[in-house]
Structure 1
Amino acid sequence: MTKFFAVAVMSLVANVCFADGNRLPNSVPPIVKQECASCHTLYPPAFLPVDSWKRIMAGLEKHYGTDASVDAKTNLAITQWLAQYGGTYKRVAGAPPNDRITESPWFIKKHNGVSASVWKNPKIKSASNCTACHTAANDGIYEDDSIKIPK
């Protein structure tokens, strides 16, 4: 029984630890996958501070040039999940301009070695096309060992 309890606690701790990193939390609600991943990569909530996610969810009718509106119940469920796992650590302490992951200081620092010609590659197109280089991004993994720059 003690081993079971220890494993259960470690599972919960691991889920919280991954929430503030380069991975999606272990459990992503189906509604989040359905509404968010149907249009773009499902970004780990830890990539932005909670306040950014709340502003994004409050303005879905103008979601980066698209009307991504959802009903109030769905909006609340997604917002609560994003708030639960949103970035809380030093790396995302401040909201980036326009609440864009690609304009956040940590993203710019992490990608500062990427030349302009790489971003202009027709297979990449822009910094927001994570899946072009992060081969496991659709699985919520953005670790360095899953990067492959297209030629």
Structure 2
Amino acid sequence: MKYLIFLSLMINALFAEGYSSMPDVAPVKNDLYIKECGSCHFPYQPGLLPSNAWNKMMSNLENHFNTDASLDDETFKTLSKYLNDNSAEKNMQYKRSNRIVSSLNPNQIPDSISTTPYMVKKHREIRKDLITQKEVKGLFNCIACHTTADKGIYSERDIKIPNFGRWEDD
């Protein structure tokens, strides 16, 4: 019994210090995806969008957010499969994937992660100037504020907004 109490106190102390180790979304574990997509931007976890959104995005790589991100056929097929196999609706055991899918209307296909109803709601209290400052650039730059985003952890305890500090959600 003493061991359980001690363990419980240690876990609570770690979380109070901002430590979190359980991913909210499945971490990226595909080297080709990291190389190809991560060479231009943060390699977003596939579980942050449903497959229909990834398919829409992949079908327009020649105009990928005003950049030509075209891929050779083999790479395109490999990355499309990875995104579809690991999309939000196939990762509902992860909190963020589940909430993203649940926030969408039937047949809704978001254009980006930051435009999903869930993400809009999660960021609504943050002042626009904090999001648009040069160190952040926009909601698309997850890693600028979410210090553990690369591990699939988007806990509020791990948010540090540049030129503002740690985020405290009241």
> What TM-score does the superposition give when structure 2 sets the normalisation length?
0.69
Q: Unaligned 5+ residue runs, structure 1?
A: 1-17
The structure where helix makes up a greater share of residues is: 1
Counterpart of 1:82, as a letter, is L
Tell me which amino acid in the other structure corresponds to 1:76.
Answer: K
CA RMSD of aligned residues (A): 1.9
Corresponding position of 1:104:
116
User: Could you say which residue in structure 1 is the equivalent of 2:100?
Assistant: 91
Number of the residue aligned with 1:49 = 50
Percentage of pairs with the same residue: 35
Question: Distance between the aligned counterparts of 1:34 and 1:146, measured in 2?
Answer: 25
Amino acid at match of 2:59: A
SS in 2 for 1:80: helix
Q: Following the alignment from structure 1 to structure 2, what is the Cα–Cα distance between the partners of residues 106 and 132?
A: 19
Structure 1 stretches of 4+ with a deviation exceeding 6 A read none
Residue 55 of structure 2 aligns to which amino acid in structure 1?
K
**2:25, 2:48 within 8 Å by CA — same for their partners in 1?**
no
Q: Is there any run of 5+ residues in structure 2 with no aligned partner, and where? A: 1-21, 90-97, 164-170
Tell me how far apart the structure 2 counterparts of residues 134 and 90 of structure 1 sit (CA, whole Å). Answer: 18
Aligned pairs, how many? 129
Give the aligned partner of residue 69 of structure 1.
70
Correspondence list, 1:11-22, <5 A:
22=24
Q: Does 1:60 align with 2:74?
A: no
Aligned counterparts of 2:120 and 2:159: Cα–Cα separation in 1: 16
Structure label with greater radius of gyration: 2
Q: In structure 1, what is the Cα distance between the partners aligned to 2:109 and 2:156? A: 24
TM-score computed with the length of structure 1 as normaliser: 0.76
